[in-house]
Chain A
Amino acid sequence: MAESPTSGAGAVLRAFLLAGAGLGAILVALVPGGPVPQSWAMPDLLYCLVVAWVVRRPETAPFWLIFLLGLTADLMIGRPVGLGAILLVLAAEVFRSQRRTVLEGGAVAEWIAAGTVFALILGAQVLMLWITFANLPALGELLRYGIVTVAVYPIVVLVCHGLFRLRPHLPAARVVMPGGRS
């Protein structure tokens, strides 16, 4: 799976780091006595992590690893099995192809993009559940879940930035316009 010949061992190491961080995100969501049914829902940390990672270092986040992480989260946290994983992979693919636009737009644009895609994911999940006659979660609860996740996204980005030294790395293939720099 030599995706990018330029990285080599570093890419493999980073992929391991992503796997570890992803498992960590799943475990944090399982901590008892954290946010309880009474208060706010637990944010989807794995989604934030994967998006932040893919936007910054897409070559170190292979899609099968994201799928495996998503599937583990589905089974452990109890989202619709299979659906959560594939939507996570598709979201990662969207960000992978649009990362240049997202990064050049600045931090706020990235935040908005992450939020929009998460809303789409939730919508798709509810739609699939509705199609298959499952019980649907309360709208207010979904809304809170979305808001909490979006609110947590910058924190995850900062953690990635500080802890994992995850810096955006844009190949200089395209000539950046002089005005776009400032």
Chain B
Amino acid sequence: MALGNMSDGGLWQTTRRVLLGLMILAALALFAFWRADSPRIERLRMQLTDMIAPSFDWTVRPFAGLVRMVEDFESYTRVYEQNRELRRELQRLRGWREVAAQLEQRNARLRALNNVRLSPRLGFVTGEVMADTNSPFLQSGLLNVGQVDGVVDGSAVVDDLGLVGRISGVGAQTSRVIFLTDLNSRVPAQVRPSGLRAIVSGDTSVAPRLDFVDAIDSVSAGDRIVTSGDGGVLPPDLLIGQVVFAPDGRLRVRIAADYRRLEYLRVLKFGPDAPLDGPGELIVPRDRSAAAPVEN
């Protein structure tokens, strides 16, 4: 029987090797599939998350509470400095509040004069950050709102200060936010006050790059960067951050949103206006309406 045992072991070794080979092939196929068709993998990922999410309540949350307690204690030790800082800031902001109130009144008056029709207001739904991933390959957060709350792919996500990212992947109860710092985040933006268009592209570093700026000379450090709304995915005029010059001379963005304290985030529900993608059919005569698109 010893011989049989031996061959058994050998057989197992061979089977194991074959299985390992198959596994490598399967994993490479999966990788290729992920690269070629990542929305489907994204759906799989959200299904898995939806399945695991209920267990977050008793696994991740106590940890998160502990981490927050430590952080709060740290800030408690600096409470005196913080107090002074806050008082200074309060003074400065009081001035701004006055200015804002005056501007608002003036704005309202001008609108009344002009008979302006405003675009429909943004709706939003607020969710809590249940988990976040912070690896060089993905920087994202998991929100506890999903399809049932009306979240759709591509919605903008903001905290109380500015844009945090956009939704990429919606489950029934959960959704995933891709942060601005993530490798694959590209947001069309506008630099104020020059009005230049640019793209804010994340590269896993703290400050995303500001790419495709036409005239770098007309951009100065501290300029505000807002979403431009190009592409119709994100609403326009959401604050992203400020321009900073990196040591290597490239433009980068100091993000306005506070990534250290992401607790509650707003998912904006934004329906772009109906697109105008053709000439008015009623006015153009029949024989020319067929030729019109070709001329363009």
A residues with CB within 8 A of B: 3, 24, 27-38, 41-42, 44, 63-64, 67, 72, 75-83, 85-86, 89-90, 93, 125, 128, 132, 134-138, 140-142, 145
User: For chain B, what secondary structure do more than half of its interface residues adopt (helix, strand, loop), or is it mixed?
Assistant: helix
Decide: A30 and B259 in contact? CB cutoff 8 A.
Answer: no
Of the candidates B23, B132, B205, B259, the one whose C-beta lies within 8 Å of that of A63 is: B23
Decide: B131 and A81 in contact? CB cutoff 8 A.
Answer: no
Contacts of B142 in A (CB 8 A): 30
Q: Tell me which residues from 180 to 227 in chain B have a Cβ below 8 Å from any Cβ of chain A.
A: 181, 183-184, 203-206
If A36-B259, A37-B179, A80-B31 touch, whether A137 touches B137 (CB-CB below 8 Å) is: yes
> What are 13 A-B residue pairs whose CB atoms fall within 8 Å in the complex?
A24-B59, A29-B135, A30-B132, A31-B63, A32-B129, A33-B68, A36-B262, A80-B137, A82-B29, A82-B31, A83-B27, A138-B204, A141-B136
Q: How far is the CA of A136 from the CA of B64 in the complex (A)?
A: 30
For chain B, give the interface size range.
35 or more
CB distance from B215 to the nearest CB of A (A): 26
Q: Is B41 in contact with chain A by the CB < 8 A criterion?
A: yes
Q: How far is the CA of A85 from the CA of B203 in the complex (A)?
A: 23
Q: How far is the CA of A141 from the CA of B248 in the complex (A)?
A: 17
Of the candidates A35, A89, A141, the one whose C-beta lies within 8 Å of that of B204 is: A141
CB distance from B67 to the nearest CB of A (A): 5
Of the candidates B35, B60, B138, the one whose C-beta lies within 8 Å of that of A27 is: B60
Q: How far is the CA of A19 from the CA of B184 in the complex (A)?
A: 31
Decide: B136 and A41 in contact? CB cutoff 8 A.
Answer: yes
Q: Is B173 in contact with chain A by the CB < 8 A criterion?
A: no
Of the candidates A31, A33, A132, the one whose C-beta lies within 8 Å of that of B35 is: A132
Q: How far is the CA of A75 from the CA of B142 in the complex (A)?
A: 13
Decide: A30 and B204 in contact? CB cutoff 8 A.
Answer: no
Best-buried of B44, B135, B262, B263 by chain A (most CB within 10 Å): B135
CB distance from A27 to the nearest CB of B (A): 5
Q: How far is the CA of A83 from the CA of B60 in the complex (A)?
A: 26
User: Chain B: which residue is nearest A26 at the CB level?
Assistant: B52
